[in-house]
Amino acid sequence: MARLFGTDGVRGLANGEVITAHLALELSQAAATVLTQGRHAERRRAEGRRPRAVLARDPRISGEFIAAAVASGLASSGIDVLDAGVIPTPAAAFLVDDIGADFGVVVSASHNPAPDNGIKFFAYGGTKLPDEVEDRIEAALESPELLPTGADVGRIRRFADAEDRYLVHLLGTLGGQRLDGLHVVLDCAHGAAAGISPQLFTDAGARVTVIGNDPDGVNINDGVGSTHLGPLQKTVVELGADLGIAHDGDADRCLAVDHDGEVVDGDRIMAILALSLRSRGMLTDDTLVATVMSNLGLKIAMAEHGIRMLETAVGDRYVLEALGEHGLALGGEQSGHIVFREYSTTGDGLLTGLQLAAEVARTGKTLAELAAVMTVYPQVLVNVRGVDRARLADDEGVQAAVRDAEARLGETGRVLLRPSGTEPLVRVMVEAADQATAESLAEELADVVRARLAI
């Protein structure tokens, strides 16, 4: 049987084969048996308190019945549920830590289209679950559930000040820096940020224009947000705004647009913020954490400024693990998942956008000037389908082709071949000093993969 949990919780078509009300109920009951254990549970029992969980969702229509099923599963297991309603995923993670809840549950499919949905969990402290804990929850689906009776069943209550707590927290990260004089366009992707992001930037002093802020349950990520930057680019240029900030459906990522409408991706955002933190003595060990998919230009730019780049596997959970293991301050992904370890336990698109705008205000430079610190190398990605990904690492013909490509590129590029975790697919990525070289080498390697690994 395939593993239920993917790279970011359990996700799929709502009311399809995986994400159903039945699964939401049973998965929540299983999580209750696993996530209420540990030292925090001992303290809670000593204080005579019932376990507590924070529940949140994005505004997609299926989130209503799925969240209701999650709440029912938790309460039937003796968990008091604090229902925060529609709030960003990073807000839920913050709230779990802020109130000392046993865990949190977020019903969201992030940047996916509206018909999809998902269920993800945060452990005590607001951190993502390691694989082994997810495996324990999955195994608990086959175990007897907790079924307290009488006064021991959980209660479901509205988390009335959830947004206010999160808003105050984010504003507190500015350290007195204001955004006065900046005109910021926000694209909320018709998602979870629609209510709070405009308020955040307004309270910080910015002049705010908002698009993608009318969620109706079915328009989340539909032609707007961090996966569709065209409307944001157009609006920023037409209004002569200083910059634009784009969130995805659950607001755990952030991409930006400068005053000319040019995209500033997660790599450039990390470069800007790493230099900002270092200038203020806040970049621990002068080290930035990024994944192997980050552009070579980021590594070169950081090296030129005396900043080391620690690379991880693809996925924000691996970035988080590296930050925690080495006690580092900043990390992220090209996609815009950026983590400030001092302020958050997961990627936070609102925090990232706020800090990026604050750096523009602090320095008096345009976002384009700040982003110029990094030269983006042409990067070509080819998905080779219908191949045996399991043979990738051991096939000498493929590895010889990779070595030859690397020798031809030298210090002016790099090659990365990565198997998909779920499909018969290999991703071929080539970076080079010019687009033509990157394209020709990527296609050349893709042909080798097709020939050598065909199923």
Q: Which of 179, 189, 304 is nearest to 242 (CA)?
A: 179
Give Cα separations from 339 to 20, 348, 393, 401 (angstroms). Answer: 31, 7, 31, 36
Residues 11, 116 contacting (CB under 8 angstroms): yes
Whose structure tokens read 């983006």?
376
Pairing of strands 207-211, 183-187: parallel
Report d(CA 251, CA 245) in Å as an integer. 11
279 annotated active-site: no
H/E element, 379: strand 379-385
Pairing of the two strands 379-385 and 425-431: antiparallel
Place of tokens 């018909």: 115
Q: Are 236 and 244 in contact (CB under 8 A)?
A: yes
Q: Per the residue annotation, which of 28, 72, 76, 110 is the catalytic one?
A: 110
Give CA angle at 309 (305, 313), nearest 5°: 160
Give the whole-angstrom CA distance, residue 177 versus residue 342.
17
Count CB neighbours of 429 within 10 A: 19
Task: Report the chain's terminal Cα–Cα distance, integer Å.
Answer: 21
Rounded to whole angstroms, the Cα distance separating 247 from 88 reads: 10
Asked whether 312 and 319 are in contact (CB, 8 A), the reply is: yes
CA dihedral 44, 45, 48, 52 (to 10 degrees): 50
State the amino acid at position 10 in one-letter form. V
Dig out the tokens for 386 from the structure.
């219908």
Per DSSP, the three-state class of 309 is strand
Distance CA(335)–CA(338), nearest Å, equals 9
Q: Which amino acid is at 189?
A: A
Between vectors from CA 430 to CA 426 and to CA 432, what angle results, nearest 5°? 180
Q: 364: how many CB neighbours lie within 10 A of its CB? A: 8
Cβ pair 182, 214 in contact under 8 A:
no
Backbone phi, then psi, for 384, in 5-degree steps?
-100, 110
Q: Give the integer Cα–Cα distance in Å for 226 and 350.
A: 12
Place of tokens 């910059």: 243
Q: What positions carry a catalytic annotation?
A: 110
